[in-house]
Each structure stands twice: as structure tokens, then as C-alpha cells.
Structure 1
Amino acid sequence: MTHHTLNYVEFAAADLAATQTFFESVFGWQFQSYGPEYVAFSESGLEGGFFLSDVAASQAQGAPLLVLYSDDLEQTQQAIEQAGATINKAIFSFPGGRRFHFIEPSGNELAVWSDK
């Protein structure tokens, strides 16, 4: 571990099983259950977990936006949609790349970007 660097992130999740299945199938994250109210993930670039809760993170409400990287933005968007997530901001360009935002099964907003 490196001193003073981001090390772990936690998300609320209303449906731990659906959220775990989504991130496993789309992004290949690995999970470890710690009982009925918490599941940790790894193989994501930044380790973290989901805790059982009825709230969700959204950029509009001031929550931090976690952004994943993709080598193929359109393919990733298609996989996300096929896995049941909702695209809430279509692909748009910005200096240095393109990205889109999505809502995963428990209601948390994340984004995916690419420099391609």
C-alpha cells in the first residue's frame, strides 16, 4: 500500500445479489461475501465493497462519480445494457476522450470513459 492514496471504496446497495452478478458478468470483478449485509470486491482497479442499504449514489446529488476505463466504449455500453443497467447519460465527448454514465442494479451511478 502507498501512503495517502485511495485504497478502498464502499457503495450502498439495495440488492447485493443483483449488484454482484452485474459487476461479475460485465467487468469480471471478484467478490467475497461477509454475511447478508456486505460483499467485498476486487480485480476492479480499486478494491471496495457494497453494504446493504436503500440509498444510492448519484452525481446529481453530489456523490463522487467513479469512472471505469474501457478500450471499447460501445462494446462496454452494450454489455452494461445487456446485463440490465440503465444508461442515464449517452456517450459524449470531452477533452481527451468520450464517456457515458450508467445506473447499476442497486441504483448507483458510475461512468465509463475511453481515450479511443
Structure 2
Amino acid sequence: MGTQGNHHQIDNIEFNVADIARSKAFYGQVFGWTFVDYGPGYTEFRDGRLAGGFTTDGPVRAGGPLVILYSSDLEATLGKVTAAGAVISKDTFEFPGGRRFHFIDPDGYELAVWTAVTDA
């Protein structure tokens, strides 16, 4: 999640994986994705159009990857998400270059919203 996205648009997709090296080898070989490592538990991928990540930070789960949206005002978006009835599944936390939170939508899907941290 190295570059700032567009407000309220899907910006990133994150896969929980059991083995980052194995996932990099598979997607690199099959689809030609490129990778940037951010420590032992996270690797960003780029497919030429979309960015995403492989992480070992959570369990591998059926149902697909984590969809991540960008917000230029994380607190306002958090307020809208909770006002609309979503359940916050992971409170706002910091990571290198940004902050994000996770929520469960009315159908039970988990999504995340992030914002870039800029030097003031």
C-alpha cells in the first residue's frame, strides 16, 4: 500500500497465505507479478494494474481475499461505516506508510479501509 489511492475506491486486495515464498513463486511464475517485501510477514504484489499483498498476519480463510478501499479521511469513513450498521472487526492500526481499520458488512464480508500517513 505504498501509493495513495482514490477516495472510497477499491485500492488493494490482500491474501492471507500460509507461505509467502510459495505464493510469490506461484503468482510470479504463472502471472508474472512483481513483489516488494515489507518484512517477513508481508509482501506487496503488483500485477501491472492493481496492487495487493500476501500476509501471514491472519489465518488463511475461505471466501477470498480482503478487499481494501482507500479513504482520504479515515475517521469520517469510519463514522459512515459504523453509522450504516457495520461491525468493526479490527480497530484502526498503523503500519508503515498508513493506517487502516477492518469492518464486517451486513452480509458478513470483511473489508478494510486505509489512508496514507503523510509527513506534516
Give the TM-score normalised by the residue count of structure 2: 0.47
Give the TM-score normalised by the residue count of structure 1: 0.48
